[in-house]
Amino acid sequence: MCWAIEQGQVTAARIAKEVPLVDGAGLAIEVLRRGSEAATLHSLLRLAEPAAVFPPIGEGSLDGVQDYVHRAVPLHHVLRAIRVGHASLARAFLRACERLVEPAQLTREMKAINEELFAYVDAFTDAMTREYLAEHDRWTTSAAATRLATVHALLANSVGDVDDAARTLGYDLERIHVGVIVWTGSPAEDSRLPSAATSLLKGLGATATLVVPVGSGRVWAWGAVPKRRPNQASASRVGAGLRAAVGSPALGPAGFRRTHQEAVRVERLRGLSVREAPRVTLYRDVVLTVLLAGDLAAAGEFVRSELGELGGRGGGMHALRTTLLHYFEAERSLVRVAEQLHIARGTVAYRVKRAQEVLGHDIGHRRLSLYAALLLAEEFGDSVLAPTQLPT
């Protein structure tokens, strides 16, 4: 059982890497993992008990079909994922066979594995194709599909009649909009997303809302607000296990696009970040980090160049960087930093002095660049820091 779970995870990771099935949402990856695990268990049981009667397809193997259709993943990508998964699973079974089977029995066992896996992938491909086409027919004739297609057209700026789009959505597009994305990595939380998005928008002052599911574990939503700046104090209303990104208020169809694009950037940032983040993140609170991290490779080069030895990995350098970052943000107030980090004022003073010594220059020199490098290091950690061992 443990081996099957492990191979399911390996297979899902390989598919996610090689086939464009997963679009940022943690639940989409989880659906893929569960399907791979079910396929592994099914094949393992059939090989262990060839005389037993099993259904041709393991329970749970087709769970991702609805998600793929709703996210407009093409069928040929889904079928390619099956081929990649089959190859990964075959390698795992054959390696295990070489390790565990006596040499005299090896050829026979490998033949049995190949026959079983090819039979399974043929049946799985047929079943997946039937399920996909049936779900595609249901989805494309549904009101939800029409709404999602209208939203995509608005975001692509390809709507001919804005009034007609507004009627389809039941949402006034000429208002001031706040765009949000709410997502989760847990299948059990999926049903909470629409109500969480609505509650969040109402907390931000929205008098009308539009909520559109975009696949497993994720919804896009907009709210019409009377003011251009939502009340940040209210932007904390999503439950445990959920995360949300909030764009800035913007007017009309162009604003509908812009506020959503800002929320998308925040969601991507949170996917890369190693920093502990609040459940709800406003774009305006992280806009500098978003802009600085547009090219993460270039950002890493900048951080390493700017921080030098202060950009080293490890707890000691991390403590110095974090303290110095808070020191800048607190306008050099030792008292405020001590309160924020729950350390003594003398410790703050020592760390700031020590960070300056490691840098080799006064922290007032190139302050803006230094602050930007510290911010990136805090947000992205090892992705932008110096290697563990610097070349000599």
pLDDT per 10-residue tile (average), the chain, 392 residues: 76 79 56 76 74 62 75 81 85 83 82 82 85 79 84 93 93 95 77 87 91 86 80 62 92 96 93 83 91 87 92 90 93 92 93 92 88 92 74 38
What pLDDT is stored for residue 24 in this prediction?
41
Tell me how far the alpha carbon of residue 236 is from its chain's centroid.
Answer: 20
What pLDDT is stored for residue 189 in this prediction?
67
Two tokens, residue 178:
């706040």
CA distance 245 to 247: 7
Q: Do residues 241 and 189 lie in contact, with contact meaning Cβ atoms separated by under 8 Å?
A: yes
**Whether pTM exceeds 0.85:** no
What pLDDT is stored for residue 338 in this prediction?
94
Q: Which residues contact 268 (CB under 8 A, 6 or more apart)?
A: 24
What is the number of alpha carbons within 13 Å of residue 1 lying toward its C-beta?
0
Residue 176 pairs with which residues in a beta bridge?
251
CA distance 95 to 101: 10
Domains parsed from the chain with CATH numbers: 2-140 (1.10.490), 171-290 (3.30.70), 293-383 (1.10.10)
Query: Does residue 314 sit in helix, strand or coil?
Result: coil
CA distance 290 to 281: 12
Q: Do residues 201 and 207 lie in contact, with contact meaning Cβ atoms separated by under 8 Å?
A: no
If you ran DSSP here, which 8-state letter would residue 318 be given? H
What pLDDT is stored for residue 283 in this prediction?
93
Q: Do residues 38 and 116 lie in contact, with contact meaning Cβ atoms separated by under 8 Å?
A: no
Label the pairing between strands 176-184 and 242-246. antiparallel
Count the residues in the chain: 392
Quick count: other Cβ atoms within 10 Å of Cβ 178? 32
CA distance 206 to 226: 7
At position 245, the amino acid (one-letter code) is: A
Quick count: other Cβ atoms within 10 Å of Cβ 263? 26
Long-range contacts of 328-337 (CB under 8 A, 24+ apart): 328/367, 328/370, 328/371, 328/374
Residue 282 pairs with which residues in a beta bridge?
246
CA distance 199 to 193: 10
**CA gyration radius, the chain:** 26
Residue 250 pairs with which residues in a beta bridge?
177
Two tokens, residue 94:
């054959």
What pLDDT is stored for residue 388 in this prediction?
57
What pLDDT is stored for residue 369 in this prediction?
92
